Amino acid sequence: MRAMPPLRKYGSTLAISGAGLLVFWLSSDLAPTAGASVYVCLALASTAIFMGFFIRGPQWRRALGSIGYDATEFLEGIPGLAWIVDAEGRLSKMNTSSRDYLGTVDTSNLHCRQVIHPEDFARTEGPMSQCLENGQEFHSACRLRRHDGTYRWFRVAACPRRDRNGKFIGWHGILLDIDNQKVAEESPRASEHHVRSILDTIPAKIITTDPEGNQDYANTDIDGLKRVERASEIKEFRLQRLIDALPTLVWSARPDGSAEFLNRRWLEYTGLSQEQATDWNWTAVIHPDDRGGLVGYWQSLLSAAAPGEIEARLRRFDGHYRWFLFQVEPVRDDSGTVIHWFGSNTDIDDRKRVEEALRARQHELQQLVDTIPTLVWSVTPEGEPAYINKQLETYYGRKIDHSQPKEGSKLDGALGRLMHPDDVEAVKGKLMQSLKTGEHFAMRYRNRRGDGVYRWVDNRAQPLRDDDGRIVKWYGVIIDIDDEMSAHDAVRATQDKLSRASQLASLAELSASIAHEVNQPLAAVITNSHACLRWLSADPPNLQRARITAERMVRDSLAAADVVSRIRALFKQTASSRTLINLNEVIGEVRQLMFDEIISQGIFVEANLDAGLPPVLADRVQMQQVLVNLVRNGIDAMKSTTDVSRSLKLGSRRHGENAILVEIRDNGEGLAETERVFDPFFTTKQGGMGMGLAISRSILESHDGRLWAESIEPRGTAFSFTLPIETGDAA
Q: Specify the stretch interacting with other proteins by CB under 8 A; choose among 62-70, 173-181, 183-191, 532-540.
A: 532-540
Q: Which residues are CB-contacts of 405 (< 8 A; sequence separation ≥ 6)? A: 413
Q: Which is nearer to other proteins, 76 or 509 (CB)?
A: 509
Whether the Cβ atoms of residue 570 and residue 613 lie closer than 8 Å to each other: no
Least Å distance between CB 558 and other proteins?
A: 12
The number of beta carbons lying within 10 Å of the beta carbon of residue 49 is: 21
> Least Å distance between CB 699 and other proteins?
24
Q: In 3D, which of 187, 192, 199 has the Cα closest to residue 342? A: 199
CB of 555 to other proteins, least distance (A): 8
Query: By CB under 8 A, is residue 524 in contact with other proteins?
Result: yes
CB of 534 to other proteins, least distance (A): 3
Binding string to other proteins for residues 534 to 553, with x set by CB under 8 A, is what? xx--x---x--x--xx--x-
- Minimum distance from residue 602 beta carbon to other proteins (Å): 30
Member of 331, 485, 531, 609 binding other proteins (CB under 8 A):
531
Q: Find the binding residues for other proteins in span 478-517 (CB under 8 A).
A: 512, 515-516
DSSP letters, 111-164, are BHHHHB-HHHHHHHHHHHHHHHHHT--EEEEEEEE-TTS-EEEEEEEEEEEE-T
Give the chain's largest Cα–Cα span: 207
CB of 536 to other proteins, least distance (A): 9
Does 526 bind other proteins (CB under 8 A)? Our answer is yes
Contact string (CB under 8 A) for other proteins, positions 580-609, x = contact: ------------------------------
| Edge-to-edge strand ranges of the sheet holding 308-315 | 259-262, 249-253, 338-347, 321-332, 308-315
299: exposed, middle or buried (Cβ count in 10 Å: 0-12, 13-18, 19+)? exposed
Nearer to other proteins, 380 or 527 (CB): 527
Q: Which of residues 281-340 bind other proteins (CB under 8 A)?
A: none
Taking the least distance from each CB to other proteins, the nearer of 449 and 545 is 545
Q: What is the full DSSP assignment across 440-491?
A: -EEEEEEEE-TTS-EEEEEEEEEEEE-TTS-EEEEEEEEEE-HHHHHHHHHH
Instruction: Judge contact between 446 and 423, C-beta under 8 A.
Output: yes
Number of chain residues interacting with other proteins (CB under 8 A): 26
> Which one of residues 27, 47, 274, 519 is an interface residue with other proteins (CB under 8 A)?
519
Distance of alpha carbon 180 from alpha carbon 338, whole angstroms: 28
* Cα separation, 589 vs 580, whole angstroms: 16
Q: Give least dist CB 578 to other proteins, A.
A: 33
Gap between the Cα atoms of 322 and 351, Å rounded: 11
Nearer to other proteins, 292 or 541 (CB): 541
**Residue placing its CB nearer to other proteins in the complex, 97 or 511:** 511
Sheet bearing 454-465, strands edge to edge: 385-388, 375-379, 471-480, 454-465, 441-448
Residue 193's H or E segment, with its range, is: helix 187-201
Q: Are 472 and 465 in contact (CB under 8 A)?
A: yes
- Judged by beta carbon, residue 388 or residue 567, the one nearer other proteins is 567
Task: Pick between residue 72 and residue 542 the one whose CB is nearest to other proteins.
Answer: 542
Q: Where does this chain touch other proteins (CB under 8 A) — which range of 204-212, 441-449, 481-489, 518-526?
A: 518-526
Closer to other proteins by CB, 78 or 548: give it: 548
For other proteins, the closer of residues 198 and 532 by Cβ is 532
Q: Which of residues 361-420 bind other proteins (CB under 8 A)?
A: none
Contacts for 355 with CB less than 8 Å, ≥ 6 apart: none
Instruction: Between 58 and 541, name the residue whose CB sits nearer to other proteins.
Output: 541
Quick one: which of 47, 400, 71 has its CA closest to 236? 47
Which residues contact other proteins by CB under 8 A? 512, 515-516, 519-528, 530-531, 534-535, 538, 542, 545, 548-549, 552, 555-556, 559
